[in-house]
Amino acid sequence: MRAYGAGATEVRALDDVTVGFTPGRFTAVMGPSGSGKSTLLHCLAGLDTLTGGQVLLGDTDLGTLSDKQLTRLRRDRIGFVFQAFNLLPTLTAGENITLPASLAGTRLDPAWVDRVVDAVGLRDRLGHRPAELSGGQQQRVAVARALATRPELILADEPTGNLDSRSGAEVLALLRESVDTLGQTVLMVTHDPVAAGYADTVVFLADGRIADRMDAPTPDAVLDRMKAFDAVKTGVRS
Ligand SMILES: Nc1ncnc2c1ncn2[C@@H]1O[C@H](COP(=O)(O)OP(=O)(O)OP(=O)(O)O)[C@@H](O)[C@H]1O
């Protein structure tokens, strides 16, 4: 549980949520605005703390870790992809992929990084700075940076929110491929049924609770499920 405030003004952003994310799978988290998606992602990353309950990454209970240990866990075991690409403008694409980990003292496996660079299709763009790349290419750099450390979990927060549909499709295909060929575990928060269609499973949140779960989602099926939430919210149930 994650509650904000107390007493009459208490908001339960996550309430009685029990959810597991299978390693080597691509899971999308969807739900109406305010349903708790960001809170879930932040708690999984150890950026926010539960008011009650546990977050486990493998065998590690995040609630038992100090701030320093949480920082190390985020650095070594989790990769992040955000809506804003968060690249360093003065570094080349290649440096953006490897430097953050190197500076943090994480040893990168050059053969793996090579494979990642090929997977994201940026071999001929490694010397370019972010401003010289398209939005889609920048986000592919961000995905490569997340993959570079070979983390146990990749957390993606609206990774296609700032992209046109074609660039968004490229990034989603890349996340899909990282699961299928590199064995990554990806958890993505999205509002977009098309994006959710790339996942193996969609977990739906509503009012801080798990409202539903869908395997092998299609954009149409996801859209229908989301419409049902809206209808219930406005009191229309047909
Ligand atoms: N720091 C905070 N203080 C108080 N309430 C908060 C805080 N953060 C989130 N909440 C509340 O918790 C609930 C869940 O918020 P959250 O941001 O997780 O939703 P979301 O599904 O990510 O929404 P969106 O799709 O709009 O980003 C909301 O009612 C929100 O107002």
Which residues, in sequence order, are bridge partners of residue 197?
none
Specify the pLDDT at position 95: 96
Examine the pLDDT at 236 and tell me if it is beyond 80.
Answer: no
Mean pLDDT of the region 144-151: 92
Mutate to test the pocket of ligand 1, among 39, 41, 192, 229 (most ligand atoms within 8 A of CB): 39
Q: Which is higher by pLDDT, 235 or 173?
A: 173
Q: Which residue has the higher pLDDT, 18 or 203?
A: 203
Q: What is the share, in percent, of the chain residues with pLDDT greater than 70?
A: 97
The pTM of this model reads 0.90
Q: Which residues line ligand 1 (CB under 6 A)?
A: 4, 11, 13, 31, 33-39
In this predicted complex, what is the ipTM? Answer: 0.94
CATH topology assigned to domain 2-7+23-233: Rossmann fold (3.40.50)
Which residue is closest in CA terms to ligand 1's atom 18?
36
Q: Please tell me the distance from the alpha carbon of residue 223 to that of residue 78, in angstroms, as a whole number.
A: 29
Edge-to-edge order in the sheet of strand 78-81: 78-81, 153-157, 186-189, 26-30, 201-206, 209-215
Query: For position 196, what pLDDT does the model report?
Result: 97
Q: How far is the CA of 109 from the centre of ligand 1 (A)?
A: 38
From CA 54, how far away is CA 52, in angstroms rounded?
Answer: 7
CA–CA dist 136, 165 (Å, integer): 10
For a ligand 1 pocket test, name from 1, 2, 4, 157 the mutation site with the most ligand atoms within 8 angstroms of its C-beta. 4
Task: Report how far ligand 1's centroid is from the alpha carbon of 125 (Å).
Answer: 38
- 17: pLDDT strictly greater than 90: no
Q: What's the confidence (pLDDT) of residue 16?
A: 83
